[in-house]
Chains A and B, each alone.
Chain A
Amino acid sequence: ETGVTQSPTHLIKTRGQQVTLRCSSQSGHNTVSWYQQALGQGPQFIFQYYREEENGRGNFPPRFSGLQFPNYSSELNVNALELDDSALYLCASSLGTGVYGYTFGSGTRLTVV
C-alpha cells in the first residue's frame, strides 16, 4: 500500500507566475483535499475533489484551481502568484469525505519571490 506522494518538494517562483503542484493519492482513496499552511499556522482548507468533481471550497480566490484525474491523483494550480502564496501546500487523500481521517503527503514548500 502506497501513501500520498506530492511533487515537487520545493519550488521557487516569481510573483505573477503560475504553478502546478501534483499529488498521488493513497491506494483505495477516492477523495483528495488540498490545504495551505503558512509558517506557524494550522492548515487552511483550499478545496476537495471527489470522483473528479470539486466537492467543496474554502475561502480562496478563483486563481486557485484544481483537477482530479480518473486514477484519483490531483493537481493544484495557482495563477498570478502573490508573495502571500508562499506556504507549505498539503495534499490529503481519504475514502469519502474523511469520516475515517486523512492521509497526508509530505507537502510542497512554495516560495514566491
Chain B
Amino acid sequence: SQQGEEDPQALSIQEGENATMNCSYKTSINNLQWYRQNSGRGLVHLILIRSNEREKHSGRLRVTLDTSKKSSSLLITASRAADTASYFCATDTGGFKTIFGAGTRLFVKA
C-alpha cells in the first residue's frame, strides 16, 4: 500500500498561474521529499523537509509540512511550460526505504 498519496491526480493550468499539489501520509516520518519526473524518465530531487520543519523554499517552490495532519503541500509559483511533469512525494519513516506516492501529473499550457 502507498504511504503517500498525492492530490489531485492531475492538474492543468495556464502558464503564469500557481500550482498546488498535496500529499497525505499514514505513519510518522523522519522527512518528506518531493521529486519531479519528466516523460517517464528518472526522478529529480526537488526539496526535502524534515519532520521538525514547517516550511521550506527553493526558488519558485514552496513546501509546507503539517505533521499533525500528516500532510504536505508543494506550491509552484508562476508556472512555466517546462514545469509540465509528474510530481511525487516520498516519505522516509526511518527505515531503509523511502516510499513514493502515485504522483500528480501537472500540465502547464503555454
Contacts and interface: CB of A to CB of B under 8 A. Distances in A.
Interface of A: 4, 33, 35, 37, 39, 41-45, 48, 50, 55-56, 58, 88, 90, 92, 97-107, 109
A4 B45 CA distance: 13
A43 B88 contact: yes
Contacts of B4: 42
Q: Is the interface of B mostly helix, strand, loop or mixed?
A: strand
Interface residues of B, number: 24
B2 interface: yes
A56 B96 contact: yes
B43 interface: yes
Interface of B: 2, 4, 30-31, 33, 35, 40-45, 48, 88, 92, 95-103
Nearest to A103: B45
Given A43-B88, A106-B42, A100 B48 contact: yes
A38 to B, nearest CB: 10
Contact of A102 (B45, B96, B102, B103): B45
B97 A56 contact: yes
B41 A102 contact: no
Nearest to A6: B42
